[in-house]
Structure 1
Amino acid sequence: MNEEDVNFLGGLLMEKQTIGFIGLGVMGKSMARNIMKAGYPIIGYSRTKGKCQDLIEEGMEWADTVEDVAVKAGIIITMVGFPSDVEEVYLGNHGLINRAKAGTYLVDMTTSAPRLAKKLYEAGKEKGIHVLDAPVSGGDIGARNAALTIMAGGEYQVFEALLPLLQTMGSNIVYQGEAGAGQHTKLCNQIAIASNMIGVCESLVYAKRAGLDPENVLKSISGGAAGSFSLTNLAPRILKGDFEPGFYIKHFIKDLKIVLDETEALGLEFPGVSLAKSLYDELANEGLGEEGTQALYKYWK
């Protein structure tokens, strides 16, 4: 990325040029809303227009296709479901890399495969398009509060130039290295969460079986050495019987599959991740894939 490109991007951001946003689900919708709150116009596309009606009423321009976004926005963020969706959105005949003009900036915030992130980077580079992989952590709460953790991979100058935009969505934003490094870092995040979520659920099951008040138990253990995001934010939802998705089980299964594919390629064996995936697979087979990851608690019920 040369100095002229950096200056051009800085100008786009300073002038609050239109930002494209593809994938307006549980998290994407809040992320797009926070970008609009920062003063950037947005043109958005998602598979189900009806679910985006509130954003449209708040001023978001609706695009009928991915291609519409590609031709109208110089900076485009994607937050879709699965690696196959990422590949279609970026590399399909009417996808971003084939339809966007040279000089466009693409930021994929989906949790996807590191190898795919590198593929997108190289494909973009051939056409003069700048691609950053920047997956997030923090769930629906972090998305609503513009407090996401963002892990970025790609050219540092692109990351640095896009930082003001990323700061409208996140509070912990770290450049991790070359293309794919953001995705590798997100997999580290999911590895840490996988076994932790099992521990949180088993702890609550144990507390109830032992005749304790689980809410009092949380008061003691949340602030101690056992403390974690899941214990603080998801355990109270479990106790209230709230299994609505901040992050879908079906998407966590996807993430854990990517982890296992990558660990196999690295010659590693992770029994904790394998166990977590097997438990979530059971819940998905029972029709619970659309519930939040805290619904793992139902395994013991």
Structure 2
Amino acid sequence: MSQSNGSSQATKVGYIGLGNAGYPLASTLARAGYHTTVQDADPERAKKFASGHQNSSAATESSDAFKDVDVLVTMLPNGEIVRDVLLGSSGVAKSMKKGAVIVDTSSSSPFHTRETGKMLEEVNTGLTLIDSPVTQEYAWALGKGDATLMVGCSNQSALEIAMPILKTMAKHVFVMGELGAGHAMKTLNNYTSAASIMGLCDALIAGQKFGLDPAQMVDVMNVGTGVNFSTKESFRTDGLTRRFSSGYQLSLLLKDMKIARTLIDKTGPHSALSDLIVDSFADSDKIAGPGADHTQVIQGWEQKAGIQLKQSKAPEE
């Protein structure tokens, strides 16, 4: 997956957004031999990436920085920022060449993504937008080329151009349907995960107050029917250890839950669970403060219960 080949060297890739997810994902492309032009809100981060990876360079600040790329990948905080980067006053879309493909791996509203796709066609009829948000089956999979991608695309030819890029970044690539389908799947995946986090927080607080050890509780769940990503990965290694360094911010999870609630409300009967998740996570986000790791969501439960969960060692310690 990370081997160089002639086709990868011939394909020019742009990458915008080198955060906790973007940096490792872009790294898989550079290692595979793609000439990767990178850009970030922090220019020094882009320069650091370029200096540390062969086949890569830092983009200039000009709107035509990606005029020669075949595929442009974006990994940004939300769909509004993606739209601004592409179509704002300094947007790069106008100068991109005909036939180029834009792959948005950000976590965004599927409805907003479809609107952006239409706007791109109006500005540059030769561009195609694909949504391909990311999830993972184990922590830190992104830098190993083991990501899971959920793809929405309404142009088969564009999908064929992008597919080698997608398969370089990911172990699993699921084509979910038309443009927006990838973002719909991502938000519903995160919604399901968030529901398990709520149940886990309830259980850990109640268990400790009863006299159970939180770490041992999670160990039981991991060999029982309560197992989920949070018990196996983030909460066991970063929540209960109180390292709070999973690499995924609580504010981003809250944003995703608001998107999920909108999607559920627009496509089916209203769900009381979606309101409960959004309200509970919003309370925790205020308590944990700006930049909080998503595992700090437990602090909202701790404050309401008047206790702090017992700190445990990491499983490998």
Structure-1 residue corresponding to 2:77 = 81
Unaligned runs of 5+ in 2: 303-317
Say if 1:17 and 1:41, in contact at 8 Å, map to a contact too.
Answer: yes
Structure-2 residue corresponding to 1:56 = 50
Say if 1:78 and 1:107, in contact at 8 Å, map to a contact too.
Answer: yes
Say if 2:146 and 2:171, in contact at 8 Å, map to a contact too.
Answer: yes
- Greater fraction helix: 1
Alignment root-mean-square deviation, CA: 2.2
How far apart are residue 218 of structure 1 and its match?
Answer: 2.1
Say if 1:156 and 1:175, in contact at 8 Å, map to a contact too.
Answer: no
CA distance in 2, matches of 1:15, 1:86: 27
Structure-1 residue corresponding to 2:263 = 262
Structure-1 residue corresponding to 2:66 = 70
TM-score by length of 1: 0.88
How far apart are residue 142 of structure 1 and its match?
Answer: 2.5
How far apart are residue 259 of structure 1 and its match?
Answer: 1.8
Structure-2 residue corresponding to 1:238 = 239
Structure-2 residue corresponding to 1:4 = none
Amino acid at match of 1:83: G
Amino acid at match of 2:67: V
Tell which deviates more after alignment, 171-180 or 212-221: 212-221
Deviations 1:37-77 (A, max 9, x none): 11112111111123345312213311133624321322100
Deviations 1:236-281 (A, max 9, x none): 1211112124211111121112222223323531222211111221
Moved segments of 4+, more than 6 Å = none
Structure-1 residue corresponding to 2:95 = 99
CA distance in 1, matches of 2:224, 2:117: 42
Corresponding residue SS for 1:107: strand
Deviations 1:171-214 (A, max 9, x none): 12100111111111112112211211111222222332233333
Structure-2 residue corresponding to 1:161 = 161
Structure-2 residue corresponding to 1:282 = 283
How far apart are residue 23 of structure 1 and its match?
Answer: 0.7
How far apart are residue 125 of structure 1 and its match?
Answer: 3.8
- Seen in structure 2, the aligned counterparts of structure 1 residues 12 and 80 have a Cα distance that, compared at 3 Å, is farther
Corresponding residue SS for 1:296: helix
User: Are residues 1:128 and 2:129 paired?
Assistant: no
Identity %: 23
Say if 2:104 and 2:130, in contact at 8 Å, map to a contact too.
Answer: yes
CA distance in 2, matches of 1:291, 1:165: 32
Say if 2:15 and 2:72, in contact at 8 Å, map to a contact too.
Answer: yes
User: Are residues 1:204 and 2:227 paired?
Assistant: no
Corresponding residue SS for 2:66: helix
- Seen in structure 2, the aligned counterparts of structure 1 residues 66 and 120 have a Cα distance that, compared at 3 Å, is farther
Say if 1:106 and 1:131, in contact at 8 Å, map to a contact too.
Answer: yes
Tell which deviates more after alignment, 277-286 or 246-255: 277-286
CA distance in 2, matches of 1:267, 1:219: 36
Amino acid at match of 1:228: N
Structure-2 residue corresponding to 1:90 = 86
Tell which deviates more after alignment, 279-288 or 165-174: 279-288
Structure-2 residue corresponding to 1:214 = 214
Say if 1:83 and 1:113, in contact at 8 Å, map to a contact too.
Answer: yes
Amino acid at match of 2:107: T
User: Are residues 1:295 and 2:285 paired?
Assistant: no
Corresponding residue SS for 2:233: helix
Say if 2:16 and 2:40, in contact at 8 Å, map to a contact too.
Answer: yes
Structure-1 residue corresponding to 2:193 = 193
Corresponding residue SS for 2:11: coil
Alignment of 1:114-125 (within 5 A): 114-125=110-121
Say if 1:194 and 1:276, in contact at 8 Å, map to a contact too.
Answer: yes
Amino acid at match of 1:82: N
How far apart are residue 107 of structure 1 and its match?
Answer: 0.3
Corresponding residue SS for 2:265: helix
CA distance in 2, matches of 1:66, 1:24: 18
Structure-1 residue corresponding to 2:177 = 177
CA distance in 2, matches of 1:69, 1:205: 51
Say if 1:283 and 1:289, in contact at 8 Å, map to a contact too.
Answer: no
Deviations 1:152-183 (A, max 9, x none): 01123322332221122111210011111111
- Seen in structure 2, the aligned counterparts of structure 1 residues 135 and 114 have a Cα distance that, compared at 3 Å, is same
